[in-house]
Structure 1
């Protein structure tokens, strides 16, 4: 979250400075994105690494949760329900 906010702030700063420098039109946001990307790559190494670590940890936790969850075969469950229904209706009584 912090990394994203820092990148957005860099984009805003680049946009503002380029606007004040006289760049206008459709080229302004494109150049601002390129400048912000370059500056963020060079200046935001630690926040980028922290964000990557957070995402990796989150992905591992989600994978562990999926592995621990019981796997349900939807087709088999549907066939079982149909068979149960047929057996209930075939019973005399």
Structure 2
């Protein structure tokens, strides 16, 4: 919280200083606000980089402590799971889906289709008797 307040106070201070300078040079109204915003933005990019780095480091620390797991650990864990899945897919024989159920792969599929066709024909016959 302290790093956020420090950075925000520094940004507001830069904006007010830039506005004062722009106002002294004769800019008024919206033109003065826009020029002060641009000048203070450029100045803060150069002058406040250390404070901005501290703010981002503190924000990352807080997020990681809330999650309880380091982001790098989560990424490496996901990458290793993906590698394991790719290795398993590479070791399977060609043409066989990795997650296929036994009735979906190969000869069992023809028998399953014949049963489905018979049930569909029975349903159609029963519907035609009702009409």
Counterpart in the other structure of 2:28:
24
For residue 50 of structure 2, what is the aligned residue in structure 1?
46
Provide TM-score, normalisation by structure 1. Answer: 0.65
Gaps of 5+ in 1: 66-93
Q: What CA RMSD, in Å, does the superposition of the two structures yield over aligned residues?
A: 1.4
Question: Which secondary structure state, in structure 2, belongs to the residue aligned with residue 62 of structure 1?
Answer: helix
User: What's the counterpart of residue 73 of structure 2?
Assistant: none
Structure-2 residue corresponding to 1:79: none
> Is 2:60 aligned against 1:56?
yes
Q: CA-to-partner distance for each residue in 1:7-66, whole Å, 9 max, x for gaps?
A: 11000000111111110021111111110010010111111110110111111122229x
How far apart, in 1, do the equivalents of 2:62 and 2:38 lie?
A: 29
Q: Which has the larger radius of gyration?
A: 2
The number of residues matched between the two structures is 65
TM alignment of 1:1-93, pairs within 5 A: 1-64=5-68
Unaligned runs of 5+ in 2: 70-131
**Per-residue deviation, 1:3:** 1.1
